[in-house]
Amino acid sequence: MRWTLGIDTSHYVAVGLAHGGKIAAREIVADTRAHVEELLPLVLKACDSVGIALTDIDEFAVGMGPGPFTGLRVGVATAWTLAYAAGRTPHGVCSLDVVARQFADFGAPEAFVVAADARRKELYWRSYSADGTPQGAPQVSAPEALPKLPVAGAVPEAYRGLFDLQGPDALDPGVLASQWSNLEAAGDEPYYLRPADAAVPGKPKSALPRLRAR
């Protein structure tokens, strides 16, 4: 049976392992700013908890967001590097789809939304049918713009009173590892949905005074 490693850094640092499609381990560090320091040690901790080495991993699944640029990039880059080092092709899925699958497996309503913190007073979100099938592309907007449907996912405390909250409130990396093949493929481009805060500087402006033509 195959070992699958699931990595998601769209919110927290989350690592899951599945063996033969069954969840074998899950490790989470509930910190939205410790992805660089915590991710690889967490991968090794998960492997150690089930008595395998990183070289025993057969498949690599990764949450492609949406999520804040820096944290999300850490998870995607790490998963891609580990997969290619092992001679494998990594499998990307939308992180919101993982939460939707969790909800659908335990009886979701006819239609619902999965949302997550996008900072800047906005939320990432995507709509789903009862079986977890996405209805449209991932979005980013003000909380008030979300459809008037039940909402699952990691909704920040400041906005929880705006919604009919139901279902899971966090991504389960074990579900990512065990069910990635049942989710829509996300390709190899992360869902940033917004440009990065850092930008390439433009041409420097001269500090010298301009001479007027006479």
Rounded CA-CA distance 182/184 in Å is 7
> Whole-model pTM above 0.85?
yes
The pLDDT tens digits for 88-137 are: 999 999 999 999 999 999 999 999 999 999 999 999 999 999 999 999 99
Q: Which residues fall within 8 angstroms of residue 146, CB to CB, at 6 or more apart? A: 113, 115, 123, 125, 163
Q: Are 114 and 126 in contact (CB under 8 A)?
A: yes
Domain range summary for the chain, segments of one domain joined by +: 3-95+171-182, 96-162
Q: Do domains 3-95+171-182 and 96-162 have the same CATH topology?
A: yes
Phi and psi torsions of 205, nearest 5° = -85, 140
* pLDDT tens-digit readout, 151-209: 999 999 999 999 999 999 999 999 999 999 999 999 889 999 986 544 445 555 544 44
**φ/ψ of residue 133, rounded to 5:** -75, 130
Q: Which CATH class is domain 3-95+171-182?
A: alpha beta
Residue in the block written with tokens 């007027």: 212
Task: Could you please state the CATH topology (level 3) that the domain comprising 96-162 is classified under.
Answer: Nucleotidyltransferase; domain 5 (3.30.420)
- What are the percentages of helix, strand and coil residues in the chain, rounded to 5? 30, 25, 45
